[in-house]
Amino acid sequence: MVEILAQSDRIEAVVGISRSEWFVGDAEADDEAPGGATRRTAVRDGYCVFHDPKGRGCLLHAYALSTGQDYHALKPMVSTLFPVTFGEGALLLSDELEDGTLVCAGAGPTAYEAARPELAFYFGGDLVLELDRLSTSSGNA
């Protein structure tokens, strides 16, 4: 979030929404989150405030790529991992996948397969190798 705010003038021009409307509530301490805290992004018309209203995707992600930046520095970790999330020391499926409201769910890669590169980025190759082993042994690979 710090990097988003540091570039807020340029990001605001891309998003088209005032930075004062990007987040709701105060930051909450979270030992599992990078930086030790989290803050919820606002929702507009049923989507994250950074969702591209002209189609699919994240405007923060697109902005980072268009400016030659690593999107991991701007995009919240929970958004990058989606549809996998984490909490209380465990990896979990996002609520939208569990409750059937995720629009893009269905045929295609598993949630793990979709999030695998991001899991490796944030948690390291050893975790991914163990998850690969578990996935193969359970017949889900």
Q: Is the pTM of this model over 0.85?
A: no
Nearest to 7 by CA among 57, 87, 52, 73: 73
Is the pLDDT score of 125 beyond 90? yes
- In angstroms, the CA 96 to CA 40 distance is 16
Please indicate whether residue 31 or residue 23 has the higher confidence score (pLDDT).
Answer: 23
- In angstroms, the CA 92 to CA 81 distance is 10
Domain ranges of the chain: 1-81, 82-141
Quick one: average pLDDT of 101-107?
64
Task: Say which residues have a Cβ less than 8 Å from residue 14's Cβ, sequence separation at least 6.
Answer: 59, 62, 63
Q: What is the pLDDT of residue 65?
A: 95
12 neighbors 22 (Cβ within 8 angstroms) = no
